Amino acid sequence: MQEARNTGARRPIYLDYQATTPCDPRVVDAMMPYFTERFGNPHSRNHVYGWETEEAVELARGQVAAIIGGAAREIVFTSGATESNNLALKGVAGTYKERKNHLVTVITEHKCVLESCRRLEEEGWRVTYLPVQSNGLIELADLEAAITAETALVSVMAVNNEIGVIQPLAEVGAVCRRRGVLFHTDAAQAVGKIPLDVEAMNIDLMSISGHKVYGPKGIGALYVRRRPRVRLRAQIDGGGQERGMRSGTLAPALCVGMGEACRIAAGELAVESSRLAGLRDRLLASLRDGLPDVQVNGDLVRRIPGNLSVSFPFVDGSGLIAAMKEIAVSAGSACSSGSLEPSYVLRALGVDAEMAFASLRIGLGRFTTEEDVDHAVRHIIEAVNALREESPLWQMHCEGIDIKSIEWVEH
* Helices (H), ranges, 243-369: 252-290, 317-323, 344-348, 353-357
pTM assigned to the model: 0.94
pLDDT at residue number 339: 55
pLDDT at residue number 394: 74
Tell me: the pLDDT tens digits for 377-386? 999 999 999 9
Tell me: the pLDDT tens digits for 288-310? 999 999 999 999 999 999 999 99
Tell me: the pLDDT tens digits for 115-133? 999 999 999 999 999 999 9
Tell me: the pLDDT tens digits for 178-204? 999 999 999 999 999 999 999 999 999
Tell me: the pLDDT tens digits for 200-251? 999 999 999 999 999 999 999 999 999 999 999 999 999 999 999 999 999 9
Mean pLDDT across the stretch 132-151?
A: 98
Mean pLDDT across the stretch 124-153?
A: 98
pLDDT at residue number 407: 60
Asked if the model's pLDDT at residue 40 lies above 50, the reply is: yes
Asked if the model's pLDDT at residue 3 lies above 50, the reply is: no
Percentage, residues of the chain above pLDDT 70: 93
Q: Which fold has domain 25-264?
A: Aspartate Aminotransferase; domain 2 (3.40.640)
- Residue 406, number of CB atoms within 10 A of its CB: 10
Task: Check: CB of residue 311 under 8 Å from CB of residue 177.
Answer: no
Domain ranges (residues) in the chain: 25-264, 269-405
- Which DSSP string corresponds to 134-187? TTSPPPHHHHHHH--TTEEEEE--SB-TTT-BBP-HHHHHHHHHHHT-EEEEE-
pLDDT-derived band of residue 6, with 50, 70 and 90 as boundaries?
very low
Percentage, residues of the chain above pLDDT 90: 84
Asked if the model's pLDDT at residue 8 lies above 70, the reply is: no
pLDDT at residue number 396: 74
pLDDT at residue number 321: 86
Mean pLDDT across the stretch 99-112?
A: 98
Which amino acids are annotated catalytic? 335
Residues written for the chain: 411
Task: Check: CB of residue 151 under 8 Å from CB of residue 99.
Answer: no
pLDDT at residue number 355: 87
pLDDT-derived band of residue 4, with 50, 70 and 90 as boundaries?
very low
Q: Return the minimum-mean-pLDDT range out of 40-54, 88-102, 118-132, 327-341.
A: 327-341
pLDDT at residue number 1: 42
Q: Which CATH number fits domain 269-405: 3.40.50.720, 3.40.190.10, 3.30.70.20, 3.90.1150.10?
A: 3.90.1150.10
Asked if the model's pLDDT at residue 391 lies above 80, the reply is: no
pLDDT at residue number 10: 82
Q: Return the minimum-mean-pLDDT range out of 111-115, 146-150, 369-373, 405-409.
A: 405-409
pLDDT at residue number 194: 98
Burial (CB < 10 A; 0-12, 13-18, 19+), residue 355, is buried
Task: Check: CB of residue 250 under 8 Å from CB of residue 119.
Answer: no
pLDDT at residue number 5: 45
